[in-house]
Amino acid sequence: MSTALPKLSQTPNRPRVVPILKIVDEASSMKSLTFRDKLTAAALPGQFGMVWAPGVDEVPMSLLPRDDNIVTITVKERGSGTSALLRKREGDLIGVRGPYGRGFTCTGVKKVLMIGGGTGAIPLLALLRKLASTDVKCSFILGAHTSHELLFRSEIERLSDGTRGMFNVTTDDGSTGSKGLATDETARVLRAGLFDRIYTCGPEEMMKKVVDLATEAQIPAEAGLERIFKCGSGICGSCCIGPYLACKDGPVFSSDTLKGLREFGKSTRDASGRQITIGRS
């Protein structure tokens, strides 16, 4: 009688332990960690994974996949889990599960505008990589507080140029590109041209303004929301916004849905579920 243990099939909810293959210092206080995982490498742009720092915490992370089962996450220090991930070295083990959620709609477009702020550039880069391989003209506005916080600028510019789209940079302090907010540049660009769809990801106050601008211009938009994801699979309810769970019904929502949510751009919830005003601790 065989005593061999059955081979467990891989599913998104089953954690996989993977070694870190490469670590790259990115912008200020941010690092990219690369690993190999077949399931998260199949993620749609805008989907996320839950990444475990053993013995510390599990945190949601945007996924930047490649065709060879290689996945990159970019970590910014925000708490004990991300701090532990930033201390990792190549060869160290982490856990990953997913992908989870709804991603961006990639069909039915010929000319699009993307607006990314801070780490919101990561899921938009995944979308740009996908659309750049098709006949879609992709324009991109990349914003950050300062030049040291701009993520993946060179690749975004190269891919946008390759689609014959425009690429503009804004920084709050004027250290690179136009001085001001990405939303100011968005308003200017929308006055100059039309787009089939607008995609945005970044600070929620920024996305709220982008969705408002898209509505005024009568252009459909999609926004990737950030909420506290504890389970990633709709069980805990920590990520609720209105009647929706951001981890399952989002994190990408259409402008039509967002216009009906009073919380969007105004309030979120902390780890205990208490509603707090966005921009305040």
pLDDT value of position 281: 40
CATH architecture of 111-277: 3-Layer(aba) Sandwich (3.40)
144: its two tokens = 């950050």
Instruction: Give pLDDT, residue 4.
Output: 56
| DSSP assignment of 14-53 | S-EEEE--EEEE-STTEEEEEEE-TTGGGPPTT-EEEEEE
The residues near 151 (Cβ < 8 Å, ≥ 6 apart) are: 26, 27, 30, 74, 118, 119, 121, 122, 125, 142, 144
**What pLDDT was estimated at residue 1?**
47
Determine whether domain 16-100 maps to CATH 3.40.50.10320. no
The size of the chain, in residues, is 281
- Quote the pLDDT of residue 3: 53
Residue-level pLDDT at 6: 54
pLDDT of the chain, 281 residues: tens digit per residue: 445 555 555 788 889 999 999 999 997 789 999 999 999 999 999 999 999 999 999 999 999 998 899 999 999 998 899 999 999 999 999 999 999 999 999 999 999 999 999 899 999 999 999 999 998 999 999 999 999 989 999 999 999 999 999 999 999 999 999 999 999 999 999 998 889 999 999 999 999 999 999 999 999 999 999 888 888 878 888 888 889 998 999 999 999 999 988 888 887 787 777 887 877 54
Residue ranges of domains in the chain: 16-100, 111-277
DSSP string over 195-234:
-SEEEEES-HHHHHHHHHHHHHTT--EEEE-----SSSSS
Report pLDDT for 165: 96
